[in-house]
Amino acid sequence: MLVLASQSPRRADLLAQAGISFVVRPAPVEERRGPWEAPEEYVVRLAREKARAAYAAADEVVLGADTVVVAADSAVLEKPADEEDAARMLRALAGRAHEVLTGFCLRRGEEERTGVARTLVRFAAMSEEEIAWYAATGEGRDKAGAYAIQGLASRFIEGIEGCYFNVVGLPVPMIYRRLREMGERVE
């Protein structure tokens, strides 16, 4: 059985849509990036901490994950604090390409497998009016980079290179392959 160590409804939806059985058992983990941490190291560290913090029986595999957006200027964008912060993030993304990184950790007992999925996303230019409107919708309030590619923000996406599911919050094909490598029967 797979244990999802996350409260993210998007991650749960993605696993369910892929037909992967799981239970949700999140554990609180402080999400704070150290000034020395590269974005890739940060998302893997958080994923590992989440996977280690969640309870699992000996035969269960725990999945921890964390997603950030890395803007063109290398700024790491996590979840916005409020509408003003969301608008600031959208200004940084508008008219540019950025990377979405999701770190994951699959843990069974002492065995751990980690990885990072990277997807390049190209945003269209946005007017101040569009930025204010989208930030006010609140759709991106609980999402890295302050937007939801699968929702209203889809109108601003010009293209992606890489895994779409990663941008939503979980690189499902990569997770599936790693589970199979661990000998898990995925149903």
28 pLDDT higher than 90: no
Task: Encode pLDDT of 148-170 as tens digits.
Answer: 999 999 999 999 999 999 999 99
**170 and 101 Cβ atoms separated by less than 8 Å:** no
pLDDT of residue 91: 97
Reported pTM = 0.93
d(CA 86, CA 128): 12
Cβ-based burial of 146 (10 A; exposed 0-12, middle 13-18, buried ≥19)? buried
Distance CA 94, CA 75 (A): 14
Confidence of residue 111 (pLDDT cuts 50, 70, 90): very high
Q: What pLDDT score does 176 carry?
A: 96
pLDDT band at 27 (very low <50, low <70, confident <90, very high): confident
Per the structure block, which two tokens stand in for 22? 């799981």
Report, in angstroms and rounded to the nearest whole number, the Rg of the chain calculated over CA atoms: 16
Picking from 154, 157, 79, the residue whose alpha carbon sits closest to that of residue 122 is 157
pLDDT in tens, 56-107: 999 999 999 999 999 988 899 999 999 999 999 999 999 999 999 999 999 9
The domain over range 2-181 is classified in CATH as 3.30.70.260: no
pLDDT of 185 reads: 82
**pLDDT mean over 21-28:** 92
Catalytic residue among 13, 59, 66, 82: 66
User: What angle in degrees, to the nearest 10, is found between the helix axes of 128-137 and 83-93?
Assistant: 130
Q: Is 59 a catalytic site residue? A: no
